[in-house]
Amino acid sequence: MNESKSILLVGVGGQGTILASKLLTYGLLESGYDVKMSEIHGMSQRGGSVSTQIRFGDKVYAPTIGYAEADLLVSFEEMETYRWLEYLKPTGKVILNNYRLPSAPILAGSADYPEGIIPEINEKVDATVLDATKIAKDLGNPKATNVVLLGALIKTMGLMDMDWESIIKANVKPQYVEGNIKALYKGMELM
Amino acid sequence: MKKLMTGNEAVARGVFEAGIKYAAAYPGTPSTEILENIAGNYKEDIVSEWAPNEKVALESTIGFSIVGGRAFASMKQVGMNVAADPMFSVAYTGINGGLVIVTADEPGIHSSQTEQDNRYYAKAAKIPMFEPSDSQECKDMIKEAIEVSEMFKMPVIFRMTTRICHSKGIVSLGEREEVEVKEYKKNIWQYTTMPAVSKKLRVELEEKLVNVKKYSNKSKFNIEEINDTKIGVVTSGISYQYAKETFGDSASYFKVGFSYPLPIDRIKEFSNKVDKLYVIEEIEPYMEEQLKANGIECIGREKLTNIGELSVAILKSAFLNIEEDKIKTNKEKIVPRPPALCAGCPHRPVFYELQKRKDIVVSGDIGCYGLGAVPPLSAVDTIICMGTSISGGHGMAKAFETYGIQKKAVSVIGDSTFFHSGMTGLLDVVYNKSKTVTVILDNRITGMTGHQDHPGTGYNAIGEEAPEANIELIVKALGIKHVKSLNPFDMEDLNKTLEWALNLEEPSVIISRWPCALKKMSKSDINEFGDYFTKFEIDKDKCIGCRMCTKCGCPAIRFDKETNKASIDDTMCLGCSTCAQICPKDAIHEVKNNK
């Protein structure tokens, strides 16, 4: 009944999930799709778990993604992948950045970072594990992790033909344009 | 031209296109970005203002409207409680230039105190109401709302919810319509609310509503959509999108976009066309109650809860018995990411010093500093609503005095919240003589909602310089004799000042003055506070692993259980020195040669 596709991007406040989502929605919009995007504001700047939800198709109604509804889960942080896994369709795909950002209770020594997440996810669903943060660092800008992951996502979705360079130019500060374009192509190469 | 816009951006665009000339608001999630967008994008055409509170915002738009201009006010749902007084009255007097009032409700309580359903305000105050279901409607309905307002000479409520405010959808942009100011004619039988006048206006209001009801039954935003007629769904706002996604063409819909007064006649007609009628709405059964009262058989609360947000999954489960197969995960594996005061937050030392004292009750308030209530700081006892820190603290102090309890009340309030609702409470403290200590956390900005200026920052909503309200002079003028301003990062002074204040036999105010760690510093901030960013590090040899530094709850402090040593994340540390002042072994010091 519903032909719309649902993509969930998750991470930790400050990782750039929102910018990546924004760039993706502009690309989808230019491809002629109906697009909706939803995010929860509030305390995300303060190191909380963040998610942006993107839905596209001929006609999209709900702007949000519920349990077992996402076709793709792109995660910027290891544990966040696991937190949001229930939102993925059992047949859905995961793109996972194997980067750990310990949360406050872990940093304060009152909890441990969970082990064995990646093998468990690999066992349960079709997952691609990337070292996007290292790749971005090697390109000279660790903050471009989000765009590396966006590149990987775009390739997975088969949207490489869009004019992503113009979209980046229109939405990123001039000094970061070149680095982000490089990061995007590098991300595409990974898939 | 088409653009992807949040509901808030689309409302701002609607305000622009509708020829509205004046917009006022107080920041509050999820409504904040409406005025930010108006002030940011349309300041040439619209006078945009941050008001000290929602009541003032609404009252100033009422004044603008009465003398003939088109005006707009926006607020979060609890903000409407603050603005309710003028709102109920302006329903009686009516308006001259169009007046639209946004309430942004929060099903799911993402960033609020309550999950109240403000649609009942429209019914209680007898004010026409619109409810958009996506960004395009946000824009279109604002334009219709201003027309309806002028058509019936009534204010109009525009009810949004978090998902409408913060979700993006495609919007077709239009042009701005310029509208002449309307003639204002003095008429005390219209624009005053003396009892004799109100008795007359009360009758007129009911007469107006008869016509508004007729409009509701004809409104282009009350839309019947006939598909398969086995199931009919009456719905509004975001719930319409969830319902469409759930039932698709296998149901017919009546989408209510103008929801006070409800288009009962048309809903009745619709109900006759379908076999079974569902009412799908978030939070309270606002529509369902009215349908049932009008003899329309329907099913709603029998299947849905009135707590929290709806979703497609909830509707599928409730109406179609479909439970999606979830990927199973072990919840115990997942460590939470609770919000914490930022590294370098000037509130931290204040809460750290307060939590050491056991002979006080801390009356807190609304803002980031609510986080002073949670571990490890755990300093704050109560949080009720904007301003209650001071007036509630007054009541606590009175109780301690009345019952002979050896405790003191300490009220903790932010700068923006003080201007919003703190000043009258402090006047009460002085007038009715309670011995409270009020700590004003003056971080030079409205922090929680993402840094909006207020009367104390020296700038206005469009970034122009503005007269800077002086908190010290204000509290003195209110009658507080004992006032001290301090830098909270000088913890010895902070501690001494708290001790001084707690031992006074009269009320006192301590102004803790330091900018929010995330604030983009203004020129005057830099003059006053300097460019103070440095970094601190922990000397591994001196660290004994006592974890005292972690007690201040700074997200930059790490503790390694294996080595039993603390460390500081140099990408997060802003050099506030709080942890260094807490460390009993003097193991934390500034990193040299680090700018």
Long-range contacts of A179-183 (CB under 8 A, 24+ apart): A179/A139, A179/A140, A179/A141, A179/A144, A180/A144, A180/A147, A182/A139, A182/A144, A183/A135, A183/A136, A183/A139, A183/A141, A183/A144, A183/A147, A183/A148, A183/A151
Average pLDDT of the residues in A9-35: 92
The band of B113, judged by pLDDT with boundaries at 50, 70 and 90, is very high
CATH fourth-level superfamily of B348-528: Thiamin diphosphate (ThDP)-binding fold, Pyr/PP domains (3.40.50.970)
In DSSP terms, which residues pair with B235 in a beta bridge?
B255, B280
Rg of chain A taking only CA atoms, in angstroms: 16
Per-residue confidence band for B593, with pLDDT thresholds at 50, 70 and 90: low
pLDDT at B367 > cutoff 70: yes
| Torsions phi, psi for A56 (to 5 deg) | -145, 160
Confidence of residue A46 (pLDDT cuts 50, 70, 90): low
Average pLDDT over residues B563-586: 94
B287-326 residues touching A, CB cutoff 8 A: 311-314, 324-326
Contacts of B137 in chain A (CB under 8 A): none
The verdict on a CB contact (< 8 Å) between B335 and A26 is: no
Q: The tokens 């619109």 sit on which residue?
A: B130
Give pLDDT tens digits for B430-485. 999 999 999 999 999 999 998 999 999 999 999 999 999 999 999 999 999 999 99
Nearest to B157 by CA among B211, B252, B231, B237: B237
Which pLDDT value is given to residue A43?
54
Are the C-beta atoms of A45 and A14 separated by less than 8 Å?
Answer: yes
Q: What is the number of CB-based contacts under 8 A between chain A and chain B?
A: 151
Residue of chain B minimizing CA distance to A69: B324
CA angle B449, B452, B455 (to 5 degrees): 125
Q: Note the pLDDT of residue B157.
A: 98
What's the whole-number mean pLDDT along residues B500-523?
95
Per-residue pLDDT of A115-129, as tens digits, reads 999 999 999 999 999
Q: Which residue ranges form the domains of chain A, and what is each CATH number? A: 5-101+116-189 (3.40.920.10)
Do B168 and A106 count as a contact with CB atoms less than 8 A apart? no
pLDDT of residue B477: 98
Residue B587's pLDDT band, with cuts at 50, 70 and 90, is very high
Q: Is B550 on the interface with A (CB under 8 A)?
A: yes
Q: Say which residue, A3 or B421, is predicted with more confidence.
A: B421
pLDDT category, A1, cuts 50, 70, 90?
very low
What is the per-residue pLDDT for B595? 47
- Kindly tell me the burial class for residue B275, based on how many C-beta atoms sit within 10 Å of its own C-beta (0-12, 13-18, 19 or more): exposed
Confidence of residue A188 (pLDDT cuts 50, 70, 90): very high
How far apart CA B305 and CA B269 sit, in angstroms, is 27
Contact at CB, B4 and A69, closer than 8 angstroms: no
String of DSSP letters for B199-266: HHHHHHHHHHHHHHHHHHHH-TTEEEE-S-SSEEEEEEHHHHHHHHHHHGGGSEEEEESEEES--HHH
* Contact of B15 with B142, CB cutoff 8 Å: yes
- pLDDT single digits (tens) B381-434: 999 999 999 999 999 999 999 999 999 999 999 999 999 999 999 999 999 999
Peptide bond into B261 cis (omega under 30): yes
Residues of chain A neighbouring B317 (CB-CB closer than 8 A)? none
Residues of B in contact with A113 (CB under 8 A): 335
Which whole-number Å values give the CA distances from B231 to B36, B248, B272, B280, in the listed order? 42, 11, 11, 12
Angle between helices B32-41 and B7-17 (to 10 degrees): 50
Q: Hey, which CATH number is domain B222-320, 3.40.50.920, 2.40.50.100, 3.40.50.1360, 3.40.30.20? A: 3.40.50.920
**Each residue's pLDDT tens digit, B162-213:** 999 999 999 999 999 999 999 999 999 999 999 999 999 999 999 999 999 9
What pLDDT sits at residue B532?
A: 66
CA–chain centroid gap for B63, Å, is 23
Tokens (6 digits) for B353: 């010093």
Q: For residue B342, is pLDDT > 60? A: yes
- Per-residue pLDDT for A53 more than 60? yes
DSSP structure string for B93-134: H--SS-EEEEEEE-TT-SSSS----THHHHHHHT--EE--SS
Pair of tokens at residue B517: 């760690």
| Distance separating alpha carbons of residues B211 and B416, to the nearest angstrom | 42
pLDDT of residue A45: 56
Token output for B206: 């009911």
Q: In a 3-state reduction of DSSP, which class is residue B554?
A: coil
Whether A8 and A39 have beta carbons less than 8 Å apart is answered as: no
CB B159 within 8 A of CB B122: yes
Contact A63 B555 (CB under 8 A): no
Which chain A residues touch B326 with a CB distance below 8 Å? 67-68, 86, 90
Q: Which of A63, A64, A79 sits opposite B169 (nearest CB)?
A: A63
Residues B75-105 have pLDDT tens digits of 999 999 999 999 999 999 999 999 999 999 9
Identify the band that residue A2 occupies on the pLDDT scale cut at 50, 70 and 90: very low
Q: Which residues contact B286 (CB under 8 A, 6 or more apart)?
A: B117, B119, B120, B123, B259
Tokens of B423: 């000043």
Interface contact flag, A1 B248, Cβ < 8 Å: yes
**Worst-scoring range by mean pLDDT, B94-98, B138-142, B491-495, B533-537?**
B533-537
Instruction: Report the C-alpha gap between B305 and B458 in whole angstroms.
Output: 47
Q: Check whether A76 has a pLDDT greater than 80.
A: yes
Enumerate the CATH 3.40.50.920 domain ranges in chain B, comma separated.
222-320
Tokens 């824009």, residue?
B139
Find the distance separating the first CA and the last CA of chain A, reported in whole Å. 30
Decide: residue A151, CB within 10 A, 0-12 exposed, 13-18 middle, 19+ buried. buried
In 3D space, the residue among B273, B265, B272 whose CA is nearest the CA of residue B226 turns out to be B273
Residue A41: its pLDDT value, please? 55
Band of pLDDT at residue A14, cut at 50, 70 and 90: confident
Which structure tokens are listed for A77? 């942080």
**Percent of chain B surpassing pLDDT 90:** 94
In chain B, list all ranges with CATH 3.30.70.20: 536-590
Phi, psi of B402 (to 5 degrees): -60, -40
pLDDT at B576 over 90: yes
pLDDT in tens, A88-106: 999 999 999 999 988 888 8
Residue A48 has pLDDT above 90, yes or no: no
Is 0.80 surpassed by the pTM of this model? yes
Q: Give the architecture (CATH level 2) of B536-590.
A: 2-Layer Sandwich (3.30)
- Cα(B146)–Cα(B158) distance, integer angstroms: 10
Choose among B532, B517, B162: nearest CA to B369.
B517
Q: What is the CATH number of domain B2-218?
A: 3.40.50.970
What is the rounded average pLDDT for all residues in chain B?
A: 96
| Spatial CA neighbour of A35 closest among A19, A17, A59, A52 | A59
% of chain B beyond a pLDDT of 70 = 99
pLDDT tens profile B217-236:
999 999 999 999 999 999 99
| B 34-93 residues with CB < 8 A to A | none
In B, residues 134-153, which contact A (CB 8 Å cutoff)?
A: 134
pLDDT of B533 higher than 90: no
